[in-house]
Amino acid sequence: MRLILLGAPGSGKGTIAEELTKQYGVVHISTGDIFRANIKEKTPLGTEAKQYMDRGELVPDSITIAMIGDRLAQPDCASAFMLDGFPRTIPQAEELDKLLADKGVSLDAVISVRISDDVIKTRVSDRRVCESCGASFSLSFRPTKVEGICDLCGGNVVQREDDKPETVLSRLKTYHEKTQPLTDFYQKKGLILSADNEVSYIQAIEQINKGFIARGIIRE
């Protein structure tokens, strides 16, 4: 099972990814995690990427693709993986196609998480994240047991700068501008599988499972 997970910031991708990982054992590959790991471990690619980031420049696609390629080459990705945060553009999608073709495989589905901007703004404004382990909480739906303290590791739980209302609006605008062409790209390939996360992730997961069955990815 080889998947891509598309969704706006705050759309609930993380929760959906967690559930799909539990159900199917797919490896959840977050681009952000790959970057952080490479930089922390001071790999050649991580060192090169950090130089661009320190200058406030975008990391070239060639570096990002190389990191993705290294990750997909690891044994745990041999049979099932789910990319989250990549690709973001059509050129990146085309490079991913080439990378997978070289391995003799192809994508099974591109899950597009649907949710209105108004709901996202509310959910993201409520979100809090642990500075130490990255665990995510919500003031409304999943508050910490002790205010400001992570339930998992005891670290400080804060609101990220990019979760503040004014930043969320800017991020959503950028996402829609960049992702719509990508959605169209995969729609033409017949790979888009829509999941409505407006009400709850359970509804979204049900839609995804039905889509998997209809496409023959899993058996009923």
Span 165-175, pLDDT tens digits = 778 888 888 88
Does the pTM surpass 0.85? The reply is: no
| pLDDT tops 90 at residue 190 | yes
Query: Is the confidence at residue 112, as pLDDT, over 90?
Result: yes
Residue 194 has pLDDT above 90, yes or no: yes
Integer distance in angstroms from the first to the last C-alpha of the chain?
A: 15
- The mean of the pLDDT values for the chain is 90
Query: What confidence tens digit (pLDDT) does each residue in 20-62 have?
Result: 999 999 999 988 888 888 888 999 999 998 898 888 787 888 9
Mean pLDDT of 66-84: 92
State yes or no: pLDDT of 220 exceeds 90. Answer: no
Identify the band that residue 107 occupies on the pLDDT scale cut at 50, 70 and 90. very high
pLDDT for the residue 195: 94
Instruction: Average the pLDDT over 153-159 and give the result.
Output: 94
Say what angle helices 165-188 and 117-126 make with each other, to 10 degrees. 130
Name the residues annotated as catalytic: 13, 88, 127, 160, 171
- The burial class, CB within 10 Å (0-12 / 13-18 / 19+), for 82 is buried
Say yes or no to pLDDT of 177 above 80: yes
Whole-number Å distance between alpha carbons of 58 and 62 = 11
For the segment 85-99, what is each residue's pLDDT rounded down to a tens digit? 899 889 999 999 999
The distance of Cα 99 from the centroid of its chain, to the nearest Å, equals 19
Q: What is the pLDDT of residue 169?
A: 83
Torsions phi, psi of 143, nearest 5? -70, 155
Percent of the chain with pLDDT over 90: 58
Residue, of 211 and 168, whose pLDDT is higher: 211
Domains for the chain: give ranges and CATH numbers.
2-26+80-115+172-214 (3.40.50.300)
The answer, yes or no, to whether residue 113 has pLDDT greater than 90, is yes
- Comparing C-alpha atoms, which of 129, 111, 137, 126 is closest to residue 197? 111
Which is more confidently placed, 85 or 5? 5
Calculate what percentage of the chain has a pLDDT beyond 70. Answer: 100
The reported pLDDT for the residue numbered 146 is: 94
Whether 12 has a pLDDT exceeding 90, the answer reads no
Q: How would you class 42 by CB atoms within 10 Å of its CB: exposed for 0-12, middle for 13-18, buried for 19 or more?
A: exposed
